[in-house]
Amino acid sequence: MFTNHLKIAWRSIKKDKLFTAIKIGGFAVGIAACLLIALFIRNELSYDQHYTNKNQIYRVVLQGEWNGEIIKSTHFQLPFADALQSDFPEIIKAGKINTIEIFGAGKRGMRLADKVQNNFEEGFVLADQEAFDILEVELEQGNPALALTQPRSIVLSKSKAEQYFQNGKALGESIILDNDSSKPYTVTGVMRDIPKKSHLDFDFLLPITDTNMSWTNQNYFTYVLVDPNTNTQDLEQKMRSIIEKYVIPAQLERGRGADFIEVLKTIEYKLQPVADIHLKSDIKMGDGLKHGDIRFVWLFAAIAGFVLLLAAINFINLSTAKSANRAKEVGLRKTVGAFKHNLVTQFLTESVLFSIISFVLGTLLAWLLLPTFNTIAAKSIDIPWSAWWFVPVILVCALIIGLIAGLYPAFYLSAFKPVNVLKGSLSTGSKSGRLRSGLVVFQFTTSVILIIGTLIIYQQMDFILHKELGYDKEQVVILEGTDVLGSKSESFKRQLVQLPQVKAASLSHYLPIEGGSRNGNTFKKADEGDEGRGIPGQIWRVDYDYVKTLGIQVKEGRDFSKEFASDSINSIIINKKMAQELALTNPIGKEIDNNGQVWTIIGVIEDFHFKSLKEDISSLSLVIGDNNGAIAVKLKKGNMNEALASITSIWNKNVPNQSINYTFLDQEFTQMHEDVQRMGHLFNSFAIFAILVACLGLFALSAFMVEQRKKEISIRLVLGAPFKSIYRLLTLDFMKLILISIVLAIPVGWFLMNRWLEDFAYRITIDWEIFATAGLIALGIAMLTISYQSVGATLIKPLKSLRTE
């Protein structure tokens, strides 16, 4: 019996190749999209699952209130970890990692002791032995208990050890960092490469040599390993005693006023599970790491579910659309004795067969699309062909979805009455059009929401990439690793400025891009004494040409000048934001205090973005100081290749044994927002999948309507009805459904995308034009889809159609 069902199913597949291709193709596209999304979600949820004690490892997060706003930070004082371990017996170990290095203060020159050529490397992290143990860093060479106990030791990843040393045998070898041959580092360990699915990404571990035990400087991540029986909520409450015991006394000794102490009293410490760091970290925590977003995970999961649901709807519509073609088959089989359950089994067998073929093709399609998907998502996802569970899961899903998708067509087709069928008076069943119309409205409502999302994401990204930033990022080359120049830095800069292609150059690694140097400081009015309210801010050490090179506007006062000797001693330039937060109405000439250092304000610059546009511009100041980690070179418009060749030539004359390493400021800015762009591209890709499947659904319903109204259309054609009247007849009802979909989709799309835009401090306004454009796109797609069937209907041969009725 089953073999007979398969034979009939196969004949049915071959009989109508177009509809079979659409049914299988639509299913396959939906399955491919779902599989890609499922692999992406699986990858995102598997971050930081490799730790043996993952349920006991936490990162500490500070949370407090500042000026009515909740602030979060992952930066702590050097003695903070030691205090946790000594004061709370629930904490087995507490370790720290230097966040400044994780921010990746640029690439560092690195070479072997017997070489002269530097390679420029990134991924350096400062850590203590406790963090080394908590994060379960596994050594393949060296003693884990001693790896980070000596001041000038370094631990390499296995891949870096193999890159620099023959056979990867690096233990005991010497390495030079930052071209400082007087202070070599000794390799004390070679660790296994950090798993790709880890929130941390580093290749070099250095010991913490900082001895500043002040409770006022915050530069370290803190990780803790807690006892498995610990109630973390109770521990978080107990940890607040750190504020009263250590932090407040230190700040009072430093001269902090009552307002600042009140802010400290709002602080509490939260324990964030290590497995939550990648997906569930607040975007504004400022930890400098690359995160995923759990909201996108659930969004993509919802899209996957919708795509699969739309594909199943298409299957139902396409099956019922061709019902008339199989009505006589059902009538004859019932007449010769076939029972309803035989017919149901037959149609379910066909459905499952369709599903299995679709799953096979969908899986192959996903495999073909995976390289492109990986490029868009910046992932290295593989289809787990060899996993024991993969094939069984695919088969079970194919069986279940095939059965579910085939239930309605099976019972619908098997319910035909033989007498009505053989008389030619087949019921069209719903004028059961309400169900099908509802399905089309559902499909296109989903599609219009996705179109709205696609348009808003595109406009937001265009807004970010073309927003006025307060500085000029165009035609600026960043030379990295320039500390290898040593004492030649100023001479090299002067030689660059003399080039005809160069407008200006500035020597400083404090740059408005990810990877630039950063620091956290507190500022207050100098005349307010100990009671002054401090504000957080940045203080960047730059040279005299920094403002000119980056095209930053001076709004009040003046720029730094070598004509004023005091500029290199106690002069400071602040941005408008700092002037506003310090309530300085006429800031020029006023004095501000920064940790005991008094500065005189000589200029106020326009606010400029030096962080992601997801964050507000914060207080910033510039002072003259040495920081030769990078050089920014402003070029004149012209032949870029010629300019780069000239710069390279000067570099080679100054440091002939060192390769030049440069990038472009505008490219670095774009990379700051690559996570948003990546999610946007993924969203757009999945939206295209869903819209394609929805169009197939509309095609299915239009095919159904033409099938049902073929006799009416033939009569109209015989009586001389023109093409446009037939076309209007077949499209008008569909246009009503699409308009209903647009009306339903607009408020939902606005709500969802407005929530998404809340993550950005600087965002577009959602205008009515976006919804109008989305509606027009949806109508255009629908018209193209329907027109195929409508035009085809006007080309049928009326006599042939009526003769078969």
- Torsion sign over Cα 279, 281, 284, 289: negative
pLDDT on residue 530? 56
pLDDT of residue 256: 67
pLDDT digits (tens, 9 = 90+) for 634-668: 999 888 889 999 999 999 999 887 888 888 998 88
- Count Cβ neighbours within 10 Å for each residue of 325-355 and write b for 16 or more, e otherwise: ebbebbbebbeeebeeebbbbbbbbbbbbbb
Q: How many helices (H) and strands (E) does the chain have?
A: 26, 24
Q: How far apart, in whole angstroms, are the C-alpha atoms of residue 119 and residue 160?
A: 12
Contact 173, 165 (CB under 8 A): yes
pLDDT at 328: 64
Amino acid at 461: M
What pLDDT is stored for residue 707 in this prediction?
Answer: 66
Residue 366, pLDDT score: 93
Would the pTM of this model clear 0.85, i.e. be above it? no
Neighbour-count burial of 611, counting CB atoms closer than 10 A to its CB (0-12 exposed, 13-18 middle, 19+ buried): buried
Cβ(351)–Cβ(315) below 8 Å? yes
Residues 114-131 have pLDDT tens digits of 888 888 888 888 999 999
pLDDT of residue 431: 42
Take residue 726 and report the two structure tokens written for it: 């037939």
Average pLDDT value over all residues in the chain: 83
- 294-321 vs 674-708: helix axis angle to the nearest 10? 10
The low-confidence residues of the chain, meaning pLDDT below 70, are 1-2, 4-6, 8-16, 18, 67-68, 99-106, 254-257, 259, 283-286, 319-340, 412-433, 435-436, 528-533, 700-701, 703-704, 707-708, 789, 792-805
pLDDT value of residue 428: 47
What distance in Å separates the CA atoms of residue 739 and residue 71, rounded to the nearest whole number?
45
78-115 confidence digits (pLDDT tens): 999 999 999 999 999 999 998 654 444 457 778 898 88
What is the structure's pLDDT at 648?
94
Distance CA(345)–CA(347), nearest Å, equals 6
Q: State what percent of residues in the chain have pLDDT above 70.
A: 86
